Amino acid sequence: MPLYRDEGIVLRTQKLGEADRIVTLLTRGLGKVRVVGKGVRRTKSRFGARLEPAMWVDVQCFEGRTLDTVTQAESLASWGDVLARDYTTYTAAAAMLETADRLTEEREPNVQQYLLLQGALRSMAEGLHDPGLVLDAYLLRALAVAGWAPSFHDCARCGAHGPHRAFNLAAGGTVCSACRPPGSAAPAPETLSLLAALLAGDWSVADASSGRHRREGSTLASAFLQWHLERGVRSLRLVDRRDPDAPTQVDSRVTWSAVPLIAAVEKVDQAHAAAQAAQA
């Protein structure tokens, strides 16, 4: 199979040599692939602008010995341009791309994660909902697809019917008074309802939520994500990430996507410390 064609979303790019780029794509059929875009950093490039982060493209690639090469790229939507115009959507989209990258493996088809990311980017570009809510809904659902569905109603440990007030990252979400580990948080009931609505896709509830509960919900969603990523992906380092396979210096685009997650790391560090103190 020397040539293949698939649709995909650009997760990130890295410089390669003078004019080329390694493009990481989450494709519908093949899962995550790393392909070379030859000459895409030249202004004359036929498809360089289509191989930027968050772009949705139809690509044709030629199979190589180590890396495949893009021979054609057609834009399927111009989300990338729309999202880059506003700082909030730009950083939220960046966090989604980074999360998708972390939750998928190369050459392992993952249609659910692909469709989830595609739907979230489209929703964010259309501007129908607050970008922070779209991001949190995406994070919670991506975790659920990865097998780490958080609980925001019933007890995550014994299944006792909720609602429950206590929330514990290590336990998996809300916990009943009998299961509640020491040091559990007690978020506002409205925040837990908001998170449950985001996970379920109940936008009428989510859109009606207040700023205070959105902020609290964001903190919990980010902390949940970091908790699982740090435990699930051993090599995760958010601030100074370098791809060991990168042949040359890393494009600054690789690191901008870490920005919105750095604050979450500090929060989750506190949560980790609290969880460890609870176990000791």
Distance in Å, CB of 157 to Zn ion, minimum = 5
Distance in Å, CB of 228 to Zn ion, minimum = 20
The CB density around residue 235, as the number of other CB atoms within 10 Å, is 8
120 or 176: whose CB is closer to Zn ion?
176
Please give the C-alpha separations between residue 274 and each of 29, 79, 170, 229, 278, in angstroms, as whole numbers.
41, 40, 10, 18, 6
127 or 189: whose CB is closer to Zn ion?
189
Contacts of 140 (CB under 8 A, 6+ apart): 150, 195, 198, 199, 221, 224
Please give the C-alpha separations between residue 46 and each of 40, 71, 77, 115, 244, in angstroms, as whole numbers.
8, 10, 17, 27, 29
38 or 165: whose CB is closer to Zn ion?
165
Q: Token pair of 84, please?
A: 């880059």
Distance in Å, CB of 154 to Zn ion, minimum = 8
Helical packing angle, 259-279 and 87-103, nearest 10°:
50
169 or 264: whose CB is closer to Zn ion?
169
Distance in Å, CB of 180 to Zn ion, minimum = 8
Distance in Å, CB of 275 to Zn ion, minimum = 17
The CB density around residue 1, as the number of other CB atoms within 10 Å, is 4
Distance in Å, CB of 174 to Zn ion, minimum = 9
111 or 158: whose CB is closer to Zn ion?
158
Distance in Å, CB of 271 to Zn ion, minimum = 19
Where do contacts with Zn ion occur on this chain (CB under 5 A)? 155, 157-158, 160, 176, 179
Given CA atoms 34, 39, 41, 46 in this order, what sign does their dihedral have? Answer: negative
Please give the C-alpha separations between residue 69 and each of 5, 62, 277, in angstroms, as whole numbers.
12, 5, 50
24 or 151: whose CB is closer to Zn ion?
151
Q: Which residue has the tokens 């490039």?
A: 45
- How far apart, in whole angstroms, are the C-alpha atoms of residue 49 and residue 78? 10
Q: Which residue has the tokens 């980017």?
A: 121
Helices (H), the chain: 79-84, 87-103, 111-126, 131-145, 189-200, 203-207, 211-232, 253-256, 259-279
21 or 164: whose CB is closer to Zn ion?
164
